[in-house]
Amino acid sequence: MRHARARESSRDNRLLKEKSVKEKKTLKLIGLEPRPEVDRDFIDWYMKEHLPVLMKSREVLSISVNQIMTGLSDPSHPGLAEPEGGYAKYLSIFEFNSIDGCKTFQGNSQAIDAFDKAKDDWKPSDVIVKFHEHYTLDKAWEIRSKRNVGLLHFVGVDVPDELKDAMKFFHEKNTVPTLSRNRNLISIERYDIVDLPTTQSYSFALQKAGTRPKILNIYRLGGISQFKSYENSKEMHLNSQNFTRFASSYLPNTFKVVMRIQYLPLKTFRR
């Protein structure tokens, strides 16, 4: 049995490979919370009318719509965080191959027209924008290929600029190798926040609460049952212990986990 585990560990280490990051893949994340009375009509309009028009912009590689799943995270997990007012029910992820592509999209006439039409179709009070930020890809790890992704686990950290490298070093040398030994984890992507001017905007109410994560990690898993197993695994507990030990060598609250939530993919548009 011991030899079998050793072979499995060796195999997992071989599967853990860092993806080449040739371009600064950029994400636009928009968290939307419709009023319950318009929820079904809004999400139907959003996926059938609004996003297909935005996909006509050649700068957009993909757009995914994801729905929140609450009650999955272990409440005893160190750093479990939820902003005041809660997370958005829906999270849209716009993917571009570069920062310039995202900037071009911001001024794209088709996209501007689509956002203007949204202002005509919906009242500001119909939907709340709880999150709207941009991130560029820093590093990515493919752990197990040929697996279908059924859940996205977001972990966002706020950290002083002068300690970002220390946080990333710990993540790369401790978190990634430790968590990758769990058979349920498919891939990891790490992003840096980037300030981009937003020339397009919905007319919806803005309620951005809490601290913006400067570093955003996206962990992909197969689904709810896989996440529950992953969340309560020995690898996760070991990683929590390691992080607590790492953070204790700095002043309290130097490293703040300001986002920790799970979303299920509803629909993805690809070019």
Pairing of strands 185-194, 127-142: antiparallel
CA 13 to CA 177: how far, in whole Å?
8
Q: Is 86 left (phi over 0), alpha (psi -120 to 50) or beta?
A: left
Token pair for residue 240?
Answer: 């929590």
Number of domains in the chain: 1
CB 249 within 8 A of CB 255: no
Range of weakest confidence among 58-67, 76-85, 216-225:
76-85
The mean pLDDT of 141-160, rounded to a whole number, is 93
Q: Please state, for a pLDDT cut of 70, what percent of the chain lies above it.
A: 87
pLDDT attached to residue 250: 95
CA 121 to CA 44: how far, in whole Å?
13
Is the model's pLDDT at 1 over the cut of 70?
A: no
Is the model's pLDDT at 173 over the cut of 50?
A: yes
Is the model's pLDDT at 61 over the cut of 90?
A: yes
Is the model's pLDDT at 189 over the cut of 50?
A: yes
Range of weakest confidence among 51-55, 83-87, 135-139, 162-166:
83-87
CA-based nearest residue to 169, from 79, 244, 246: 246
Is the model's pLDDT at 9 over the cut of 90?
A: no
Domain that holds residue 194: 2-70+79-270
pLDDT attached to residue 19: 60
- Which CATH number covers residue 56? 3.30.70.100
pLDDT attached to residue 239: 94
The mean pLDDT of 171-188, rounded to a whole number, is 97
Q: Which long-range contacts (CB under 8 A, 24 or more apart) does 3-12 make?
A: 9/181, 12/143, 12/180, 12/181, 12/183
Is the model's pLDDT at 36 over the cut of 90?
A: yes
CB 102 within 8 A of CB 96: yes
pTM here is 0.90
CB 152 within 8 A of CB 248: no
Range of weakest confidence among 8-17, 146-155, 204-213:
8-17
Is the model's pLDDT at 268 over the cut of 90?
A: yes
Query: What does the angle CA 127 – CA 43 – CA 62 come to, to the nearest 5 degrees?
Result: 105
pLDDT attached to residue 271: 82
Query: Is 143 strand, coil or helix?
Result: coil
Q: How far apart are the first and last CA of the chain?
A: 47
Is the model's pLDDT at 208 over the cut of 80?
A: no
The mean pLDDT of 86-110, rounded to a whole number, is 92
E-strand stretches of the chain: 17-19, 26-34, 60-69, 90-96, 127-142, 151-158, 185-194, 205-206, 215-221, 256-270
The mean pLDDT of 211-215, rounded to a whole number, is 90
Q: How does the average pLDDT of the chain come out, rounded? A: 88
Query: Is 26 strand, coil or helix?
Result: strand
DSSP string, 151-189: EEEEEEEE--GGGHHHHHHHIIIIIHHHHTTSTTEEEEE
